[in-house]
Each structure stands twice: as C-alpha cells, then as structure tokens.
Chain A
Amino acid sequence: MKTHHLKTDVVIMGGGLAGLNAAIAAAERGLQVIVMDKGKIERSGNISGGVDHFMAYLETGEQWDSREAYLRFVQEEGYGIVNIEIHNRVFCDELKGAIKRLERIGSPLPDPNTGAYYRTASMGQPGPYWINFNGKYLKPNLAKEVRRLGCTVLDRVMTTRLFVSDRKLVGAFGFHTRTGEMYFIECKALVAATGNTNRLYETPTRMPFNTWLCPYDTGDAQRLALEGGATLANMEFLRMTIVPKGFSAPGLNAFTGMGSYFINGLGERYMSKYHEKAEKAPRNWLVWGTLSEMKEGRGPVFVDSRHLPPENLTHLKKTLGLDKETLNDFFKARGIDIEKEPMEIMVSEAMQTGPIEVVGSGIHIDKNCMSTVEGLFAAGDCADQMKVVHMAVAGGYASGKCAAEYALHHPFGGCRSEWVREEEARTMAPMRRKQGLHYQEVEDVLRRIMAENVGPSRTKTSLETAQKKIKALAPYLDEIKANNVHERMRSFETESLMKVGEIMTHAAMFREESRFIPYHYREDYPETDNKNWCGQILIKQKDETITTEFKPLNYKI
C-alpha cells in the first residue's frame, strides 16, 4: 500500500466543528494547512446532521448578559475543574468574532425572519444564554470556507500516530479508511480536535451506535496525545442525558428551554424535589432526579409539553428537527405527538467527556490552547477546558490562531524514517492476520465492564474490578482481525476506547470525593469535598504506566 509523504505548517486532526474553525484561523493567517478527518468534512463529527443551539452572552445591558456574569456562571457550574483564565481567553475573547464568522459563512445566529436572537434558558443558566438557530448547514458552510481558503483536505483519513521528538510535535501518520493508502505528514504544529468518547458504555437499547453524541468519536486524540507524552485532565467524569425512550438523540435542552415538565409514572412533576430550578437545573441534576425516580419505583418517566402555548410548541417541534435530523421520523414511527400526550423518556448511555456544558475533558491545555507537548494544540470536546458548540466555534478558532502563531516562529522538527516503517506495519497488522476476533466482540466486553463498574455509581472495589478486567481484556486487541480497511478503522477505535476506559478508571479511583453527581459519584465518598479536591486530576503515561497527580485550582470569588 502506497505511503504519501507530505509537509505542511499546520495539521488539523479531526474536521468537526472545532477543527474546521481552527483550520480557518490558521489559513486566514497565510499558513499551509492540512485537515484530516475519518469522515468527509461537510458532514462529520458531533453535528454531522445539524445543530440548533449556541451558548452566548450578548451584552444587552441585562445583569446576567455580560462577560462577568457569564464567567461567574461558568465558575459556579464548573467549580473545582474549570480554569476561568483559559475560558476568558479562548471563549470570551473570541465570542464576537465567532458570531460574525457564523453570519459570514451563511449560518447566522439571529432568526433570518425577524433579525432577532431567539433565546432560552435551561441547564442552570442565570438568563437565556441559549440561542436557538438553524445550524442544519453549519458544517457544509464551514467546509466550503475551509476549501475556499485553500486548505488541503484529506477526507476519510484517520490519524493513527502523533510523532514527538524532544517533547515537540513534529508530524503525524494516518491511513485512508477506504483505499488503505497511508499518509506521513511533517508539520510544525498540530491541532487535535477529534471530540469526546461516545462508544464506551452499553446503551439502553443494546445498539452500540445508538448514542446521544457521535459514535464515531472514540477518544483517538486523547489516546494519541497521551502516547506522545501529553497530559490529560478531567478524565474521571462521565456524562449522561435524558433522551426519548428508544432513541439516544439530542433535544433535551429544547424541551427544558421551552418549559416542558418531567413527570413520573404517578403523574407527578418530580424535579423540584432534587433542584430549586426544577427542569431548568443543570443536566447532571436532571439525570440524577430521573435515575432516582426510576430506582425508587416511580417510573416510567415522561416529558410533558401539553401545557405549552401553541407558538412555543411550534418552535419546539421545529427546533427538535434541527438538532437531530431524524427525530421527527422517529416520533412518527413510534406514534409520538408531543402536543397530545407526554413522551416517555429514558436516561441515555454514559460517555466519557466533560461533565457540563462549560468544561471539557481530555488534552490539558494552557491559555494558548497548547498541550504539555510543544506544538501540540487541542480544541473542542477533546480539550480539557472546551465543551460543546459555542466553545468548538470560538475556542476552535483560538486554537488555530495559536497554532499558526507557533508555526510562524518554529522550524520543522526531525522526523525519522524508521517511524514510518513502524507505523506502516502497525497500521496494517490486523488485516494481515489469517483469523482472529471481530472488533465488536472485544468492544462489547469493554462496554459492559465500564457500565457495570465505572458508571454513575462507583466505589474503590468496582473501580479495582474494572482495572483488573480491562488489563485482562487488553491483550485481545492484538488478536482482532480486520477484513478490510473500514474494519481496521473500527479496530483502531476499539484500541482508543480501551485506553480511555483505562485512564478514566485510574482518574476515578484517584478522586476520593463526588462531584457533578452522578457524573463522578463515589458511593464510598459521597460528598463533594472542596477543601481537598478543588482541582484537576492530571494523567500522564510513561512506558505503558499511567500516573495521576492533583493540580489545585484557586478561585478569586
């Protein structure tokens, strides 16, 4: 199989929402940019099929609508693991530019019919920070801009290795997931932007790809960055949400933002028992309340929208289709009419990602979006301080700017030819095996171990059990047989999932307290302990051994 040798200033690993904004920033500064993505950048990543919301303050003069009020909210919500200085720099400094950019490329945030922003509040916000907008063509519009700016786009090329020399990033390797052709790229800087880890836990429908967020996001960047010597953080947290029964699809904040109620099997509204903001509480409380109702025998649970005024119902229905293109088809197939009856809901599968809308997990970045490896930057859901759409757009651009600035002042590093040979052999090994396991067999066991032991209820014993079982399962990665390059892509993802599961278990074991319950709920340490655990768990790997350390965070207010 042919290996292409390329050289560029900046590589973007992952052409999702964050990656494309990073590519635009670097290309606008006149640098040569290569974007690599497992899919095709017009429709890849978490918003492949569209999105309907963007979080922002707009400085209208309302008390809650300022940078200061927003940062107070971020600090309160992300207390203990959010770094306000980074948030201020990578989000707040970039927000106005992000809003203008979305308008310029043809996906404006204001409603084109009225020219006004349609704003709603949920998830604990002090005011309506969500802007509802039509993001159905956001990805294709960004992709068009990336191509217009002259970036080289390697669609369907999966990154399988980051080359690091003397703690500096010097290149990357990948393969085409249809042809098998390989790519060896020397670069001055790289932005990792491959999203969170969504296929790590059993799903309620037992269909591994029926996940709330993109099932093709499998923690590849977190794994490769760790292998390259970078530090990860916030990896102990899982995240779950509330979804329609049977379909792990986004849409929750559309319901709660419009004022829908959660009711239990007895017909009672239950969220006010768990949080003063009831259905407008932060997501972890909605999950906690719903899990509790089910556990205590008051299921099944429903979302009730019948009381909403007709104009709100119309808006809600329209918005749901923007966030998940196929959701209305599902409602039709299941016979759901949200105007006429409550819709049954369920708690989604867990995933590894930042616990709330304003704090991420993954590659530990500084205020210039750089990791602990020089020249390696991170953005979007795989960076420890970025999360969801608003930060992917604003923070993605910040990371591209910083990577470009770095590339302008640093020469190419030294890539060694033996690395290419090693990587060619490693990449193709599962296809050369005459027989072996299917990737799904290994992955299914991993998902079960995670769900049973590293889920929304954890103890030292359950985490030790997971560690032992993952250790015993890991050698089977070397027995996976890939029948073609597509299956090789999947088996590489299985390897990433296993690594993320291992890291997550280590970090969860280390944090002997509970935070963002039930996203890190240690039944043996059920209280949040701000005296001893206000800070991040940092993860490193040396010679296959994972180490953990605590980095305290101090807040001024």
Chain B
Amino acid sequence: MPPVINDKCIYCGNCYEICPGDVFTWSDQSEKPTIFYPAECWHCGACRLECPVDAIEYDFPLGMTHV
C-alpha cells in the first residue's frame, strides 16, 4: 500500500522528516528510512515531493487496484 524506497535513495531522511502520518522510521543514518506503519499511509505524496532523487515509488495493493 505505501510508498516504496528504491535504490536511488541517498539516505537524506527527507521522507522521514516530512511524512504527515509519521509512518517511517529511520534509526541508522547510513541506511534507507523504512516504512514502519504501512497501514497508516494516506498516499498524500508528500514524501515523493520532498525526495531529491526520485527514490519514492508507489505500490498499490490489490484491494485498491482490483476492487
């Protein structure tokens, strides 16, 4: 359901900083942030808008694409 962070990620943490639902965690700054609360994502796109390297993609579940 939530955004997916691809390999272009440069570990800047913008997505973690900006998310209005606070669905990311980012404990190790040498790694990608991770989606910790996927069910709480609103698909607002704020993380992608703030990503400097196009590392955010969206993956919609079947419950949205096939109903």
Contacts and interface: CB of A to CB of B under 8 A. Distances in A.
Contacts of B44: 43, 48-49, 214, 324-326
Interface string B12-43: 00000111111000000000000001011111
Nearest to A244: B64
Nearest to A206: B63
B20 A39 contact: yes
A122 interface: no
Given A40-B17, A42-B18, A486-B37, A205 B64 contact: yes
Contact of B49 (A49, A177, A216, A246): A49
A209 interface: yes
A325 B49 contact: yes
Interface stretch (A61-69, A287-295, A328-336, A545-553): A328-336
A210 interface: yes
Contacts of B63: 205-207, 246
Interface in A238-271: 245-247, 249
Nearest to B38: A209
B64 to A, nearest CB: 4
A44 interface: yes
A161 to B, nearest CB: 21
Nearest to A210: B64
A168 B59 CA distance: 49
A246 B64 contact: yes
Contact of B42 (A40, A48, A178, A329): A48
A292 B54 CA distance: 43
A209 B42 contact: yes
Nearest to B41: A209
B19 A39 contact: yes
Contact of A43 (B40, B50, B58, B66): B50
A48 B20 contact: yes
A326 B45 contact: yes
Nearest to A336: B65
Interface residues of B, number: 26
Contact of B65 (A43, A177, A334, A486): A334
Contact of A329 (B20, B22, B46, B58): B58
B53 interface: no
B39 A246 contact: no
Interface in A208-242: 208-211, 214-216
A511 interface: no
Identify which of A206, A326, A489 gathers the most chain B CB atoms within 10 Å of its CB.
A326
A489 B60 contact: no
Contacts of B60: 246-247, 329-330, 333-334
A471 B55 CA distance: 47
Contacts of B58: 326, 329-330, 333
Contacts of B67: 204-205, 245-246
B49 A178 contact: no
Contacts of B41: 209
A249 B43 contact: yes
Identify which of B21, B42, B63 gathers the most chain A CB atoms within 10 Å of its CB.
B42
A207 B64 CA distance: 9
Given A43-B44, A325-B44, A326-B43, 18 more contacts: A38-B20, A40-B18, A49-B46, A206-B63, A207-B63, A210-B42, A210-B43, A214-B20, A214-B42, A214-B44, A216-B21, A324-B45, A326-B58, A330-B43, A330-B58, A330-B64, A333-B64, A334-B60
Interface of B: 1, 17-22, 37, 39-46, 48-50, 58, 60, 63-67
Interface of A: 38-40, 42-45, 48-50, 136, 156, 177-178, 204-211, 214-216, 245-247, 249, 324-326, 329-330, 333-334, 486, 489-490
